[in-house]
Structures are given as C-alpha cells and as structure tokens.
Chain A
C-alpha cells in the first residue's frame, strides 16, 4: 500500500490506494507545485507556451505522437463531420465562430484545446428544450477527417432549464482531431452524456470537455475510450451555482501500443454541490498505457461539498502500464465529505490457475474477471443501446487477446 493524498480523510469516506507489487504502475498524489485552480486558461493558442513534455499537464503524454497538435505544426487539412440524430424536440445549429454562446461552458486549459478553439471554423450547437423530457437519446456522431488528415472541431450541447436529455457523443473514423466539447446544463436540468471514443487504430484525439452545471443541475458524464492510437480526454466540471450534482464515469480498455489518457478536474467553487468520479480501465498487450488524473479542488466558498473519486485499473497481461494520480485540494473545513481512492491490480497467473483448476477455460476466466470489473460502470450507463454495444466491444477486445 502506498499512502496517498494531499488533503485526505477530512470527513467520511477517506482515502485508500493500493498497487500490486509486480505491476508497472504509478499511484501517486504528489503535492502539486501550484493549486490546480491556478492553471493558466485562455481561448487564444498564442497565449500558451509550447509544451515540451515535462509540464505537469503533459508529463505522461507521448508528445511525438501528438502529430504537432501541441506546437502549431498540425495544419487543418480535413474536416471532422458532425451528424446529429435525435428526437424532434432538439434543435441542431451549425454556427460560426462569432456565436456568443461558444465558450460559455469553459475556457481551454491546455495548448491543444486552445489550438482547437483558435482553429475551428464552424461549431455544432445541439439544444434540448427546457421543461421537457426527451423521449429518446440524441446521437452526435463525430467522424474523423480520415487517415493522415487533421481537423479541429467544436460541439456544444445545451439543455435549457428544467429540461431532461440524454446524448451519445460517438467518435468514429480515422485521422487527427482536437476539439472542445461543451455541456451547458441549465438550472434544474438533467443531462446524461456518454462520450464514446471508438476510433480506428490510427486516430489521435485530444479533447477538452467542459461541463457547466447551473443551479440544482444534474449531469451524468460517461467517457468510454476503446479505440485510437492516442486519446486524451480532459473533462472539467464547474458549478455555476449551488445544488449541482455531477457524476463522472469512465471506462477504458487499452490494447498493445495504445495511449489513453483521462484528465479530470472538478472545480468546486459553489456550496452544496456533489461530485462523484468513478473511472475503471483495463490494459492488455505490450505498451498499452493508460493515465488517469483526478484533480478535485474544493474552494473556500464551496461549503457542504460532497465529493468522492475512485480510479481502478486492471492489468491483464505483461507489458501494460497504468498511471493513476488522484489529487484532492481542500480549502474549507465545512464539507460533507471528501475522499479518493486509486488501485491498480493485475490479473495474474495464480488467479488464472485457480479459475482454470475449477474447469473454467482460459478465455472464459479472463472474461469472467473483466466483466466483473466493468460491471459496476456498465450498470450505470442508462442508455441501453450504448450499454449493449459496449458489452459487445469489451467482448471483442477480449477476443483480441486470446487470438
């Protein structure tokens, strides 16, 4: 066990972290040089320094594989096509850069997100009306620009006050994509989002997702990363007023050579808000690398905050590396509860032997363990079509390792 935590065990849930000895991993929670709340943000890419790779924000990312998204050399020579399919109550608009709503949910916090914000030509705005519960989920499909091409994109999903909606954000295809995705959840509104990164093998995708919750708003934000060569998704949640409730779920499955990075930031600046983070990842094959960063900041004004974050990783074969860095900063003593936990375990030969010694075949044993591992998250995905598709995708991933 490695003790972690900057400000743990303030009240309630507490903190725990564990790692098997023989797993290449890092579970750490070093005191950062500066508060997460002080990180530079801006819409203009030129205001950011070109990262070299040592910065806190970039230290786990293989910079060479970013194909120049971070240093200005990735010129947009393609388009990421956005198709929206949904119930008739929703409004879909294609707007230009001048639209005053863009940027409302948050400001880019790294150079790639700023590059995307400075480079996109058109944005897609999807609005679910207020005081209405949508009968079925909307699907926003982003198709990559194609192999060897680069695109910058922008999508904004809005739910007007007291509306209820579910949106599947589906990323498919090839190429290099950087984008910002905004979720503007109005007062008293409820939004369920599942962002699926189901890219082709060649794809590079760097995405900042801005989650803005109004008063008493509820947002369930689920990130599922399966495909791609390099995928880096940074969801940031902010509360505009009190009473907000955000659940951030994640499921990732990295194969040989894939880099999957999820950087979360929950900024509690308002009182009486809740956040609950649960990310689970599995790794298999040589060079599979996952990174999970969970920054939670409870500012002085955020009294009665209730937050918990958990990351678990399952290393299925040799040669994978899971980095997991929870970081909880608390600036007020008046909170309901705050805690974090992180653990990386290995599906080892002993477990495999034990299951097999009871007659269970190897591939089934592996499936049993992985299904059980992801079950908790899959059950929380309340869009049945997506859940079934993910179950099938996970089975397919498992087929791959047994092949």
Chain B
C-alpha cells in the first residue's frame, strides 16, 4: 500500500520572458489501487502539475510538497523519482533520434528494476506487451518516438507503463488524438495495468470519453491551477452534459 500526497503545491513555468505562476495550491492524495481522473479545460495547468511532479526543469515548485510514502519527491532528481516508482505518460512524448526503442526500453527497465532483466525473459515480455498494444515488432528497431504518429507515441507510453510497473502513474491526456480503435487498445492497456498491479493512477483528461473505458474512483475538476471540485463518476457525467462553464465561467465542452 503506497500513498502519493500532493500538498498545497504551487509551481511556475520558467520562460524567456520570466516566470509565471501556474499551479495555485494543489491538494490531492492518491492511494494504491485508486484511479483519480483530473478533468480541466485547456491551459488550466494539468500538464504543469504532471511535469512538476516528474521534475521537469522548466517548471519550478515555489511552495508545497509532494510525498511518496512520506518521502519528499521534490528533493529527488528526475531519474530518482522514476526509480522511486513514479511514471509520467506524457501528453507529447519526446523524440530521441538514434536511440532504438529496444535499447531505450531495456535501459529504462534496468534502471527501474535495479538490475538488467534476463535477456530471454525480457524479449518475450516486450514482445507480449507490444502485441497487446497492437505495436508492430519493427518498432523495436526504430528511434524512440521518431516519426511516430500521435497514436503510436501514446501506445508506446502505455507500453512503458506496462513494462516499468510504477507505484503511481500519471497519464497526461493519453486519450487525446486517439481514434476509436486506438482508444480501445490504450484503455485496455491501462485497465490491464490496473488489474495486475496495485498502483495508483492520475488520469488527466480534457474529455470524458476515456472514462467510459477506464472507470475512475474519483473525479476532480481542475481550473486555474488547482482542484475546484471533487466527486465521484457522476461529476464526469455532469461535465459531459454541461461543460466546464460553472467551474471556469467559460463555456468549454468536456465532450468531444
């Protein structure tokens, strides 16, 4: 049983023009086995929250805490956080030309597991997981994310999730840009991860459609850098009906 606690988190983005406060006091506790949906309009700071937790250098935490089983995550390096059990499926996964997917996956698994996986098991494990996500075998030899379509990138994020088996996974708009079939495949991947691991999930989304496939235990509405409302699944239905209007004052639909 693990706990991820986000306490009064304030963070700014560092740009050429200076720093701008984005997160205005986020409070959220996620326990193993729980799925928390974070829903919010564009620009509300959802990605900033995920990057701040993962330790992206462009985002500076100005106050507050992030604790993983009581350990201060904010004092850890980016790679340490991952090894401690955090995983971020990015909204825009990064291309790393020249480094093959297979080399990358193995390096990551070795780092996170603390030892190199036995080659024979590893090859089978990767092959099985790729198969489940409908990823063709040739992708293993391609450069990390290079020239991948949006949907292919998202599938590879979930592939990493299934191989790295974190304690807590933040999925940042993993559903965005997916067609119906891809959404099914990706949702299945997330559900399987949930079933086989006692992990906590922060499922960030703009639209409610993924929540029909990946059922959340809690739904939080995110606006202007913080959680403005929390509830159960019914909150997502409300958002789907009525949009973000009553939380943000702007008529932005939560339905595609």
Give me the interface of A with B, judged by CB distance under 8 Å: 345, 349-351, 353-362, 364-365, 368-369, 372-373
Contact = CB atoms under 8 A, between A and B. Distances in A.
A358 B94 contact: no
A357 B78 CA distance: 6
Given A350-B94, A372-B98, A357 B88 contact: yes
A373 B107 CA distance: 16
A373 B98 contact: yes
A362 B76 CA distance: 13
Contact of A358 (B58, B97, B100, B164): B164
Given A345-B97, A372-B99, 10 more contacts: A357-B90, A358-B82, A358-B107, A358-B111, A359-B83, A359-B164, A361-B79, A362-B79, A368-B107, A372-B103
A357 B164 CA distance: 11
Given A362-B79, A368-B107, A372-B103, A357 B54 contact: yes
B96 interface: yes
B96 A351 contact: yes
A359 B99 contact: no
Interface in B28-69: 54-58
A353 B94 contact: yes
B96 A359 contact: no
Contact of B99 (A357, A361, A368): A368
Contacts of B77: 356, 362
B143 to A, nearest CB: 8
Interface of B: 54-58, 77-79, 81-83, 87-88, 90, 93-100, 103-104, 107-108, 111-112, 144, 160, 164
Nearest to A358: B108
A345 B164 CA distance: 29
A345 B87 CA distance: 27
Nearest to B81: A357
Contact of A369 (B57, B93, B98, B108): B98
Contacts of A354: 90, 93-94, 96, 144
Contacts of B144: 354
B57 A353 contact: yes
Nearest to B88: A357
Contacts of A362: 77, 79
Contact of A360 (B87, B88, B98, B108): B108
B103 A360 contact: no
Contacts of B57: 349, 353
Nearest to A375: B98
Nearest to B96: A351
A345 B98 CA distance: 11
A334 to B, nearest CB: 35
Contact of A353 (B56, B99, B164): B56
A167 B94 CA distance: 42
A349 B96 CA distance: 11
A326 to B, nearest CB: 19
A394 to B, nearest CB: 14
A21 to B, nearest CB: 13
Contacts of B81: 357
Contacts of A373: 98
Q: Which of B82, B96, B98, B99 has the most A CB atoms < 10 Å from its CB?
A: B98
Given A353-B56, A368-B103, A358 B160 contact: yes
Contacts of B100: 372
A349 to B, nearest CB: 6
A364 B82 CA distance: 15
B99 A360 contact: no
Contacts of B164: 358-359
A359 B112 contact: yes
A353 B58 CA distance: 10
Nearest to B95: A351
Contacts of A353: 54-57, 78, 94
9 contacts: A351-B95, A355-B107, A356-B79, A357-B88, A359-B112, A362-B77, A365-B79, A369-B96, A373-B98
Contacts of B111: 358-361, 364
Most chain B CB neighbours (cut-off 10 Å) among A358, A359, A361, A368? A359
A351 B56 CA distance: 11
A359 B111 CA distance: 5
Question: Which of B90, B95, B111 has the largest count of A CB atoms less than 10 A from its CB?
Answer: B111
A110 B95 CA distance: 42
B35 to A, nearest CB: 21
A350 B111 CA distance: 19
Contacts of A359: 79, 82-83, 108, 111-112, 164
Nearest to A351: B96
A271 to B, nearest CB: 37
A351 B95 CA distance: 7
Nearest 7 interchain pairs by C-beta: A359-B111, A358-B108, A354-B94, A359-B82, A356-B78, A372-B98, A359-B112
